[in-house]
Structure 1
Amino acid sequence: MGAAALIAVVALLAFPFRGGGAASAPKTVTIAGIAYPFEGKQAFNGLTGVVIREGWLKAELAKRGVALAFTPVPTAVGGPLINEGFSGKRIDFASYGDFPAIIAISGGVPLRLVTPVGQGQHSYLVVRNGLAANSIAELKGKRIALHRGRPWELPFSKLLDASGLKQSDFKIVNINPAATPAALASGSIDAAFLLSDGLLLEQKGAGRVIWSTKQAPADWRMRAELFGRGDFVDANPELTQLVVDAYVRAAAWSAQDANRDRVIKDSSRGSMPVEIIARDYANDGIPWRERFSPTFTRDVIAHYRSVADYAFARGLVRNKIDVDALIDQRFVAPALRDARLEGFWSPTTPVQAQASAAKAS
């Protein structure tokens, strides 16, 4: 079975058809998110896990006669599967990456970014043991594993551009992160571009990290936000506000220094060791509180303009995205006000001292 067929089958299993016309009042709000098997259950990643544990959103929706459903999505098929769910109107919201969302919008799915989350996630370039390369330029002609269509494809492309290279200068192998360790160990690939999986490979002695977005401009970091299906958001602003309220509350809890250890521990469930999560967060100059900021800063909006323009210019999407239609700022400000969180986060993204792109490459 091909990858596209597999995603379609999993989508039907994960997001069963709910029925009902567009005009009918929703009986259920469905939120999708990346999740991992853990102790016989599905452990949701990031703020979605906090929202589930707190139970506030479930209780508030129940007062209005609306149920709440969380749909776990395996990381191996994360973005494409979530896009299938949005396209088929089987999910209403999802917490996932910037690039898959741009792909969905380019394909005609009217998504809205309703809640930003933090300052982005890092990507890592790992080379196999025994390979002397110390930069992307030294990998020219080599086999690099890159899971196409996933959020980290954008920072990889930006690294190539900054280095005066293009994807055709390499033999790109399209495999998911779970298959990468074996491919690296067998020598069937020479390098891999990953998220924190790259740090795990290095910890296990399977390879060596030679570059990360910690060395690059802040805009190179992939972002994961809370997106809503446009027709649902417009038809149900009260329910959307409750969802945003819950994610803002979860962000505030996660941003507390006292909860740092719990956040790191929860982030490691079923996926990464605690020390890898801590290392991923370390040495990038981002204050802990700001990692979870849900505010619409100029940097957030500029990031999506940059991603949309870049993806279209490089032929990564077929249609240019209207970022003004994507950004929906109606809900975060009321959520901050009602939770008495105005001023809790900086109004602008902290300026990071970054190496130049040329030096980073």
Structure 2
Amino acid sequence: MAYLNKRSLLPRFKDRLILAMALLASTLIAGCSGSGNADGAGAVKTVTIASIAFPYQGKQVFNGLNGVVIEQGWLKEQLAKKGVDLVFSPVSTAVGGPLINEGFSGKRIDFAAYGDFPAVIAVAGGVPLKIVAPVGQGQDVYLVVRKGLPANSLADLKGKRIALHRGRPWELPFSKLVDSKGLKLDDFRIVNINPAATPAALESGSVDAAVLMSDGLLLEQKGIARIIWSTRQAPADWRMRAELFGRKDFVDAHPDLTQIVVEAFVRAAAWSSDEANKAQVIRDTARGAMPEEIVAKDYANSDIPWRERFSPLFSPALRTHYHSVADYALERGLIRNKVDADALLDDRFVKQALKDLKLEGFWSQSAQEQR
């Protein structure tokens, strides 16, 4: 009985932990004044960029292009020349996109590197954003089932409990999978929990399956779960994408600062695209987030060439993807207001950065279209 009592306290403890993490992240973003931090003449004093960060060796670290931008130091130096400070605001994976959307809405952040679906939700909710730079070519989403469950397809999960963190980028690929099989979300018992709580939920049998990103590979490696489907079995458009989004009013009012920010990300993309830096990219991506072998496996299983993985080009495929995201989300009632996908895209800054850095032709448009 004591054991059962302890288990009954676990969900409440997790809820409190997640709430505490959300409050901490909210405090961090609230402390960043964004473009509102201006002098008497209205000049910007701080540029704030938000993104997911992970605890690593006693501090919060940014992975991917965010980490490269910070490590290179170019962006901080260039902004300093204009008397502008640079702040990277860390956001926990437990709160992710929703908290970033709050930061955009409250004008406490100016840019954010985050997922497609949360950004579309923000725009549909009346927060104008612009994609100022694509950040790579997408990430796979996995559907896993708990150890011992005799399920090999989505249909086998009808009536079962599926962990799905609502409003996060991986919700959309799962919704598309459900629709493609002639099913609906109501055919399943959706449990809205974040990925950090999912392993324990699977092990305890609290949920039967889960929708995850590369952590699905990790759970399979540990024997906690088994992958029965991934976006590798689906059209390329189903992959989750992330971009560098800017607050529209900031981008329109400060194109010079936006250009500097975008150029920093294009520089970081070029560095990451170099095969000579591949091992370092994998190590840095893994910091605090995932074992290196899982990151390497996630990369290796993709048919995207290493250089093209980090391309910042505004390809026709990118436009098609956001039309698909916006249309599908509206049709399925995931958002209430139509989002103009074309209005999201603002490629002028990347085009200029490619000219300034002499990188025109460095990434292949055709390679992206083949994917």
TM-score range with shorter-chain normalisation?
A: over 0.9
Matching residue within 90, 98, 112 for 2:108? 90
AA aligned opposite 1:301: R
Partner of 1:358: none
Tell me, what secondary structure is at the counterpart of 1:331? helix
Q: Are positions 1:11 and 2:26 aligned together?
A: yes
Aligned equivalents of 1:171 and 1:101: distance in 2?
26
| Pairing of 1:204-223 with structure 2 (within 5 A) | 204-223=222-241
Q: Are positions 1:231 and 2:249 aligned together?
A: yes
Matching residue within 100, 105, 119 for 2:123? 105
Tell me, what secondary structure is at the counterpart of 2:348? coil
Q: Are positions 1:309 and 2:324 aligned together?
A: no
Tell me, what secondary structure is at the counterpart of 1:75? coil
Percent identity (aligned): 69
Tell me, what secondary structure is at the counterpart of 2:94? helix
How far residue 44 of structure 1 moved from its aligned partner, in angstroms, is 0.2
Tell me, what secondary structure is at the counterpart of 1:267? helix
Tell me, what secondary structure is at the counterpart of 1:127? strand
Q: Are positions 1:346 and 2:361 aligned together?
A: no
| Pairing of 1:148-163 with structure 2 (within 5 A) | 148-163=166-181
Tell me the matched-pair count. Answer: 352
Partner of 1:72: 90
Contact 2:21 2:94 in 1 (8 A): no
Matching residue within 71, 74, 77 for 1:59? 77
Matching residue within 25, 34, 55 for 2:52? 34
Aligned equivalents of 1:5 and 1:187: distance in 2?
25
Q: Which runs of 4+ in 1 moved over 3 A?
A: 1-10, 19-23
Aligned equivalents of 1:6 and 1:62: distance in 2?
31
Aligned equivalents of 1:333 and 1:315: distance in 2?
35
Aligned equivalents of 2:23 and 2:117: distance in 1?
20
Cα gap change, 1:277 to 1:110, in 2 (>3 Å) = same
Deviation string 1:64-92 (CA, Å, 9 cap, x unpaired) is: 11111111111111101100110110000
Tell me, what secondary structure is at the counterpart of 2:297? helix
Contact 2:32 2:48 in 1 (8 A): no
Partner of 1:324: 342
How far residue 329 of structure 1 moved from its aligned partner, in angstroms, is 1.2
The Cα RMSD (Å) is: 1.7
Q: Higher mean Cα deviation, 5-14 or 305-314?
A: 5-14
AA aligned opposite 2:112: A
How far residue 21 of structure 1 moved from its aligned partner, in angstroms, is 6.8
| Pairing of 1:277-316 with structure 2 (within 5 A) | 277-316=295-334
Aligned equivalents of 1:4 and 1:317: distance in 2?
25
Contact 1:15 1:71 in 2 (8 A): no
Q: Higher mean Cα deviation, 222-231 or 342-351?
A: 342-351
Contact 2:133 2:350 in 1 (8 A): yes
Aligned equivalents of 1:111 and 1:223: distance in 2?
16
Task: Give 5+ residue unaligned stretches, structure 2.
Answer: 1-14
Contact 1:184 1:191 in 2 (8 A): yes
Partner of 1:356: none
Aligned equivalents of 1:136 and 1:98: distance in 2?
24
AA aligned opposite 2:30: F
Aligned equivalents of 2:201 and 2:175: distance in 1?
22
Contact 1:34 1:72 in 2 (8 A): yes
Partner of 1:119: 137
Aligned equivalents of 2:114 and 2:96: distance in 1?
8
Deviation string 1:267-304 (CA, Å, 9 cap, x unpaired) is: 00011000100111122211011100000000001100
Normalised TM-score (structure 2): 0.92
Aligned equivalents of 2:286 and 2:300: distance in 1?
15
Partner of 1:269: 287
Partner of 2:276: 258
How far residue 350 of structure 1 moved from its aligned partner, in angstroms, is 4.0
How far residue 162 of structure 1 moved from its aligned partner, in angstroms, is 1.0
